[in-house]
Amino acid sequence: MEVITTHRNTDFDALASVFSAKLLYPRAMPVLPQNINPNVRAFLAIHKDLFPFNTPKDIDVGDISRLIVVDTNKWARLDGMESLKENTELGVHLWDHHQERGDIKADWSCCDPMGATTTLLVRRIEEEKTAISPIQASLFLAGIYEDTGNLTFPSTTAQDAKAAAFLLEQKADLSMINNFLRPVYGPKQKDLLFEMLKNTKRTKVKGYSISVIKQKVDGHTPGLALVVDMYQDIVNVDAAFGIFKVAKKDRTMVIGRSGTSDLNIGSIMRSMGGGGHPNAGSAMLKAVNPDAVEKWIVELIKGNQQTSVQISDLMSFPVFTISPDTSMKDVAHLLRQRGCSGFPVAEGDRIVGVISRRDFKKVNSEQLNAPVKTFMCTAIIKIDPGSSVAQAARLMIKHDIGRLPVVKDDKLIGIITRTDTMRYYYDLLPE
Ligand SMILES: [Mn+2]
């Protein structure tokens, strides 16, 4: 017997992967975990006849000769398949877009980095010219849209968009997708969001603005990820974390959302035993103190920072500086000669001011012989070499400046410009 299965808390990408795999493995039987996420459950409640499946309880797992695993590469995320883990006779095919390694050893796999696992399968369906119905196309497109945030998450690839185009050609129904992808947001979620907003607090960790909210929830609360998502949007921080202690059960759900690609939520959640993508992830913890979890998150962000791009990786050095006694006339000449819009003014390696083209507006011709120290701006906006690019960009926007001196232990060690940060955001970093 051949079986196609996927991860617990089955989402649309997982469900779409199972049923697109069914087209590629027509003899295989779809087996879904008991635990399915609420949107998918609502979809299946109506579409069960069109997408028939079994649960692990309905089948004899011992009869499985080949397991087709989609949208996960970890045994622990499958339901009811534990006994197969040690089965050396078992053939395994793996279709997955998660890039961290799992423990499922496959004899054949397709694990290219894509925004959605469904994309990998739809690409093959298109190559094989397998016919698909508009309803199948709609489900598959829902899978791609869910995992790519309607093709907007940074993990989205051109292949995801191509697969989406193909599915629209196959008459995928967008209104149906919008209906089911609309996440659970009812009075319970609204109350929770309002409660979180009342208790809003922000902190800075390694240059990122972070908000960690600890909240009690009673019993099963679906839609926590959406609530954290909305919360992050409203309080406008680089990353938001919800630590939800489930009353009566000794369980704590941690959900993270990040709006910046250099703060990887997925890797933070993996360190906590959960999982996710760069922009979103979650972990379920047992018997923990929420205060300790908050500290843990902060520590992980500090650690995460070291592996991501820092200002010191992007800055230019050595920095051309001028001395405080340089005349304004000479400064004007140097600005023209070097094609710069400003210079740091330094005594030795200590920065004492900044002069820019803009400052010349207040200088009349008699004052051109005056030293730069009379006109330079001494309220210096500077940045630490360990800060993030997001932090630099924020300072530039806030103060409307195009360059930031990079200062360590009071010494000027480099300069970062608007162009440097843009280059980073548009992935033009030199290899
Ligand atoms: Mn997925």
Mean pLDDT of 106-129: 96
Write down which residue in 152, 181, 210 finishes a domain. Answer: 181
- Please give the distance, rounded to the nearest whole angstrom, from the Cα atom of residue 85 to the centre of ligand 1: 22
Distance 232 CA to ligand 1 centre (A): 22
> According to the model, what pLDDT value does residue 271 have?
86
Q: Can you give the CATH number for the domain in which 340 is found?
A: 3.10.580.10
Contacts of 400 (CB under 8 A, 6+ apart): none
Of 181, 200, 234, the one marking the end of a domain is 181
Ligand 1 midpoint to CA 273 (Å): 18
Same domain, 157 and 266: no
**What pLDDT, on the 0 to 100 scale, is given for residue 396?**
86
416 CA to centre of ligand 1 in angstroms: 37
**CA of 96 relative to ligand 1 center, distance in Å:** 7
Q: How many residues does the chain have?
A: 431
CATH number of the domain bearing residue 201: 3.10.310.30
Listed residues 181, 210, 227: the one ending a domain:
181
Do 303 and 327 lie in one domain? The reply is no
Residue 430 covered by a domain: no
User: How far away, in angstroms, is 249 Cα from ligand 1 center?
Assistant: 28
Ligand 1 centre from 36 Cα, in Å?
14
Domain membership of residue 51 (yes or no) is yes
Residue 339's alpha-carbon distances to 255, 276, 322, 363, 381, in angstroms, are 48, 46, 15, 20, 22
d(C-alpha 282, C-alpha 257), whole Å: 9
Q: How far is the CA of 328 from the centre of ligand 1 (A)?
A: 60
Cα–ligand 1 centroid distance for 264 (angstroms): 17
Predicted local distance difference test score (pLDDT) of residue 427: 52
| Helix, coil or strand: residue 149 | coil
For residue 431, tell me if it sits in a domain.
no
Residue 123, in any domain of the structure: yes
Residue 13 CA to ligand 1 center (angstroms) comes to: 5
Same domain, 159 and 27: yes
Going from the Cα of 62 to the center of ligand 1, the distance in angstroms, rounded, reads 27
Of 22-31, 126-135, 267-276, where does mean pLDDT reach its minimum? 267-276
Query: pLDDT class for 43, splitting at 50, 70, 90?
Result: confident
Residue 238 confidence (pLDDT): 93
Same domain, 144 and 282: no
pLDDT in tens, 61-78: 999 999 999 999 999 999
Question: Residue 6: how many CA atoms within 13 Å on its side-chain side?
Answer: 29
**What's residue 431's pLDDT?**
39
Q: How far is the CA of 225 from the centre of ligand 1 (A)?
A: 15
pLDDT score recorded for residue 264: 84
Instruction: Report the pLDDT value the prediction gives residue 287, as an integer from 0 to 100.
Output: 80
Distance 174 CA to ligand 1 centre (A): 20
> 131 lies in which domain range?
2-181
Do 26 and 158 reside in the same domain of the chain?
yes
**pLDDT > 50? residue 350:** yes
Q: Are residues 317 and 304 in the same domain?
A: no
Residues 109 and 166 in one domain: yes
52 and 164 together in one domain: yes
Mean pLDDT comparison of 40-44, 246-250, 346-350, highest-scoring range: 346-350
Residues in Cβ contact with 35 at an 8 Å cutoff, skipping those fewer than 6 apart = 8, 9, 10, 79
Ligand 1 centroid from CA 276, angstroms: 9
- pLDDT at position 394: 81
What percent of the chain lies above the pLDDT cut of 70? 96
Report yes or no on 169 lying in a domain: yes
- 285: CA distance to ligand 1 center in Å? 22
Interval between CA 322 and ligand 1 midpoint (Å): 54
pLDDT recorded at residue 212:
97
Q: Tell me how far the alpha carbon of residue 357 lies from the centroid of ligand 1, in angstroms.
A: 51
Q: What's the CATH code of the domain at 40? A: 3.90.1640.10
Span from the CA of 70 to the centroid of ligand 1 (angstroms): 9
Whether residue 231 is found in the same domain as residue 321: no
The answer as to whether 379 is a domain residue is yes
Global pTM?
Answer: 0.60
Task: Count the domains in the chain.
Answer: 3
Q: Are residues 14 and 137 in the same domain?
A: yes
The span from the CA of 322 to the CA of 329, in Å, is 13
363-413 pLDDT, tens digit each: 898 899 999 999 999 999 999 988 878 788 888 888 888 889 999 988 999
The predicted structure's pLDDT at residue 425 = 66
pLDDT at 213 over 70: yes
Average pLDDT over residues 161-167: 98
- The dihedral over CA atoms of 150, 152, 158, 163, expressed in degrees to the nearest 10, equals 0
What pLDDT is stored for residue 306 in this prediction? 47
On whether both 390 and 257 belong to a single domain, the answer is no
27 & 87 share domain? yes
Q: 10 C-alpha vs ligand 1 centroid, how far in Å?
A: 9
Residue 273: band (very low, low, confident or very high) from pLDDT cuts 50, 70, 90: confident
